[in-house]
Amino acid sequence: MKVLWIFAHPEAGSLNGSLRDEGVRALREQGHEVRQSDLYAMGWKAVVDRTDVAFDDGDHGRMVVGDAQEAAYRAGTLSPDIRAEQEKLEWADTVVLHFPLWWFGPPAILKGWFDRVLVQGFAQVVTDAEGRTRRYGDGGLAGKRALVVTSVGARESSFGPRGVHGDLNGVLFPVHHGVFWYTGMRALPPFAVYGANRRFTERDFKEYADALRARLEGLESDMPLPFRYEAGGDYDDDLVLRPGVAPGRTGIDAHYEENVPSVPR
């Protein structure tokens, strides 16, 4: 495998930093190639603005963000930091997004990686020969696999199927379905460290490091979350589930082909 490990924590010496080191080492020992985007270490710019797209505000008026990104992508004028990340994504067959869960989502620096790198024409609003938009199971990154590795301060039960924070797959739906699957990447069940705010003993750490190693061994073979393909016939021309599909079900869970799987450790 060719694995791109994207890391979004400010402290290399943190629990997450140590887990990242373990994970990268494990993959290399298993014979895989690994490249990294350590966003804090790179000083990654989080915020979309005109400098991303070499926007000439001489007399063009306002920038329409998506269009300006696509035009710059096609012209090869996206800023070099963005192009470097796109090149890494093209190289990879597997992507690991590793971040502490802050406010039930990725830290801003990683959200900004989505906003700046996954531009129209590259990862989204990619059209096929018939002019159809390729999305949800198809798209610019189709065929790759992707895994969230995250940490939360809370205990595991509180992110379970009936836990107060919402089940972890539900909380991560915008990433799993909205980023990974939208661009064509198969989302693997997330790997989560719970109680990350407590003082970790060496034994606590080893337990999680071993569990992470085991999960990484399944990167190629684990069943991805069973989201529906947009072009698979389940959705009508208004992009709504046909009446016979998941009859009576509404909400985000209706977009799984089967029941929502539980989250393995």
CA 239 to chain centre: 23
Q: Are 245 and 233 in contact (CB under 8 A)?
A: no
193 part of the interface to a second copy, by CB under 8 A: no
Cβ contacts of residue 249 below 8 Å, gap of 6+?
none
Q: Between residue 122 and residue 141, which ones bind a second copy under the rule CB under 8 A? A: 136
Tell me if residue 130 falls in helix, strand or coil.
Answer: coil
31 part of the interface to a second copy, by CB under 8 A: no
Q: What is the 3-state secondary structure (H, E, C) of 166-179?
A: CCHHHHCHHHHHHH
Binder among 29, 49, 128, 210 for a second copy (CB under 8 A): 49
Query: What is the x/- site pattern for a second copy, positions 67-106, by CB under 8 A?
Result: ---------------------------------x-xxxxx
Closest to a second copy by CB, 34 or 123: 123
Q: Are 126 and 133 in contact (CB under 8 A)?
A: yes
**Cβ 174 to a second copy shortest distance, Å:** 4
Binding site for a second copy (CB under 8 A): 10-14, 40, 46-50, 61-66, 100, 102-109, 111-112, 114-115, 118, 136, 153-155, 157-158, 160-167, 169-171, 173-174, 177-179, 197, 230, 235, 238-241, 246, 249-255, 260
